[in-house]
């Protein structure tokens, strides 16, 4: 299973036409050593780097930040809370997307 950091690396590489890990380090402002450790599953991005990566990708950083914290978390109670927050966030995002689709459909076909 890939970590959040590895998933973000993959998405960034895809977005930048399969660029090298060296180029990704430059884009994210981190060391190449950090990038290579992450690609090998031996490290994780900091919160700041996750925010930068999400900004580069144009995605909401909240689920990535929560999932990264889940990856690091050892406390069962804290994991339960984070999982609930992540589920609530997924549900809210799903409702928001459904709302946009509904507005689009009603806007286009509301006159019929």
What are the pLDDT digits (tens) for 52-107? 999 999 999 999 998 999 888 899 998 998 898 888 887 766 555 444 433 443 44
Cα–Cα nearest to 57, from 100, 1, 19, 13: 13
56, with CB counted inside 10 A (0-12, 13-18, 19+), is: middle
| Domain match, 53 and 79 both | no
| Structural domain total, the chain | 2
Cα–Cα nearest to 6, from 48, 34, 29, 27: 34
pLDDT digits (tens, 9 = 90+) for 4-23: 999 999 999 999 999 999 99
Q: How many CA atoms lie within 13 A of 75 on its CB side?
A: 5
| Domain match, 53 and 77 both | no
| Domain match, 78 and 57 both | no
Asked if residue 36 is part of any domain, the answer here is yes
Sequence-separated (6 or more) residues with CB below 8 Å from residue 14: none
How far is 94 from 60, CA to CA, in rounded Å? 13
The answer to whether the Cα torsion of 16, 32, 36, 82 is positive or negative is negative
| Domain match, 55 and 16 both | yes
Asked if residue 67 is part of any domain, the answer here is no
Percentages of the chain per state (helix, strand, coil), in multiples of 5: 75, 0, 25
Range of the domain at 82: 73-112
């Amino acid at each position: 299973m890939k970590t959040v950091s590895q998933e973000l690396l993959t998405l960034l590489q895809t977005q930048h036409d399969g660029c090298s890990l060296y180029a990704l380090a430059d884009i994210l402002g981190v060391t190449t050593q950090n990038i290579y450790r992450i690609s090998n599953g031996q490290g994780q991005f900091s919160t700041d780097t996750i925010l930068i990566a999400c900004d580069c990708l144009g995605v909401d950083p909240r689920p990535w930040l929560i999932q990264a914290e889940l990856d690091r978390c050892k406390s069962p109670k804290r994991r339960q809370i984070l999982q609930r927050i992540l589920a609530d966030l997924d549900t809210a995002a799903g409702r928001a997307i459904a709302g946009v689709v509904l507005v689009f459909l009603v806007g286009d076909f509301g006159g019929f």
